[in-house]
Amino acid sequence: MSSPQPWVGPLSHRVQQLAPSATLHVSQRAAALRAQGHTVVDLGAGEPGLPTPACIVQAARDALNRDDIGRYTPVAGIPSLREAACVKFARDQKLTYDSQHILVTPGAKAALALALEALVNPGDEVILFAPYWTSYSALIRLAGGTPVIVPTRAQEDYLPRMEAVRQALSPKTKAILLNSPSNPAGAVWPQERLQELVQLSARQAVWLISDEIYGRIVFDAAEHTSPASLSRDAWERTIVIDGVSKTHAMTGWRIGLAAGPANVITAMTKLQSQRFTCATAVAQHAAAFALREPPPVADAIKKMTHAYQQRRDAVTRWAATLPRVTCHKPQGAFYLLLDCSAYIGRSIGGIPIDNDITLANALLEQARVAAVPGTVFGQPGTLRLSFAAPDHELQQGMERIEEWLRRKTL
């Protein structure tokens, strides 16, 4: 007798329509190939290859000795972390907040999800600038909203034209989601441009969700400005998203921050109490130490950002020598967006390249380098390389990509 088929139960439309995070998926595929014995270079992952600074890890070890470390923390976060976040926002973004304006979440992604859930009604629109981080569109849809995409161009430093923003605004617009420095283009909004956006959005009193997670990773003369710092009105309309994942090399600790006016932070805290309870206690203690930024932490951040700047210089110099590829020098974050559109419709080493997804797959299969196809960022024809990978991997990745692109192209 044949064994009965297992019951495969029906799932929600919500989850059926959802694609898994492409950025995380690419790295997991690279890890799976490594586990099979292949030497894969992972330039897909948007996470620091450097370890969490030892002094932050030590702060977590110390916190493990606390009697209350195994308990739930307050939903909005431990008082010392919320206070440290206020110190951080005043120091780094010239923003004045009290603890009541701060919510600690399990990663910045959770802070974004809660912000969208707190603001968006079904049918509301949220404006995004392409290329945008892949999870934004998914999170907007999960909250019941509709992403409205405003394109930007490399020749215009990946900053939107205000006329295009004006046209995208509609009576249904609930929020504008911006990300400076940006993932994946490394665009940094200058203060004057932000001022224009603030003024334009004031007419309709829409929310600004400002993802500033890469705020400390800026290069050359670029300066990070928070829209919330530009006026009282902007402060009242902005939810700042931040965290320790990138600046402090703490992706796995899962600590994010949301800062904003008390009404929206209270609403997001209510949502968190039902969804996640609170962020992990020990990680909160480590983050409280990190955000106060005692000298050893400041020193570690300086070294890491210096390393990113050197890698940024090296990868942009290298990319300029590649056949048929162009790129724009990133001003912040740790990604290089390669415009590979000249390869689409051709073949490389006998493999037909229909689009950036087949290009990324072929690069992984043939050259064993993981990169993220630009389609998932709303920028088809491009590939995103992360230069947060350790130096030796980055070097090896560049050599492999170059060798592969120089194969016979038809």
Binding site for ligand GLU (CB under 6 A): 21, 23-24, 45-47, 109, 133, 135, 183
Sites for ligand PMP among residues 195-214 (CB under 6 A): 211, 213
* Residue 108 binding partner per list ligand PMP, ligand GLU, none, with a CB distance cut-off of 5 to 8 Å that depends on partner kind: ligand PMP
* Residue 179 binding partner per list ligand GLU, ligand PMP, none, with a CB distance cut-off of 5 to 8 Å that depends on partner kind: ligand PMP
Of the candidate residues 26, 43, 108, 405, the single one contacting ligand PMP (CB under 6 A): 108
Query: Which residue sits closest to ligand PMP, CB atoms considered?
Result: 107
Q: Binding to ligand PMP by residue 109, rule CB under 6 A?
A: yes
Write down the least CB distance from residue 375 to ligand GLU, Å. 14
Tell me whether residue 145 or residue 243 sits nearer to ligand PMP (CB atom): 243
* Residue 21 binding partner per list ligand PMP, ligand GLU, none, with a CB distance cut-off of 5 to 8 Å that depends on partner kind: ligand GLU
Of the candidate residues 48, 243, 330, 378, the single one contacting ligand PMP (CB under 6 A): 243
Tell me whether residue 226 or residue 245 sits nearer to ligand PMP (CB atom): 245
Tell me whether residue 213 or residue 398 sits nearer to ligand PMP (CB atom): 213
3-state SS track over the chain: CCCCCCCCCCCCHHHHCCCCCHHHHHHHHHHHHHHCCCCCEECCCCCCCCCCCHHHHHHHHHHCCCCCCCCCCCCCCCHHHHHHHHHHHHHHHCCCCCHHHEEEECCHHHHHHHHHHHHCCCCCEEEEEECCCHHHHHHHHHCCCEEEEEECCHHHCCCCCHHHHHHHCCCCEEEEEEECCCCCCCCCCCHHHHHHHHHHHHCCCCEEEEECCCCCCECCCCCCCCHHHCCHHHHHHEEEEEECCCCCCCHHHCCEEEECCHHHHHHHHHHHHHHCCCCCHHHHHHHHHHHHCCHHHHHHHHHHHHHHHHHHHHHHHHHCCCCCCEECCCCECCEEEEECHHHCCCEECCEECCCHHHHHHHHHHHHCEECEEHHHHCCCCEEEEECCCCHHHHHHHHHHHHHHHCCCEC
* Residue 269 binding partner per list ligand GLU, ligand PMP, none, with a CB distance cut-off of 5 to 8 Å that depends on partner kind: none
* Residue 152 binding partner per list ligand PMP, ligand GLU, none, with a CB distance cut-off of 5 to 8 Å that depends on partner kind: none
Q: Binding to ligand PMP by residue 378, rule CB under 6 A?
A: no
Q: Binding to ligand PMP by residue 181, rule CB under 6 A?
A: no
Tell me whether residue 45 or residue 128 sits nearer to ligand GLU (CB atom): 45
Binding site for ligand PMP (CB under 6 A): 46, 107-109, 133, 179, 183, 211, 213, 243, 245, 251, 256
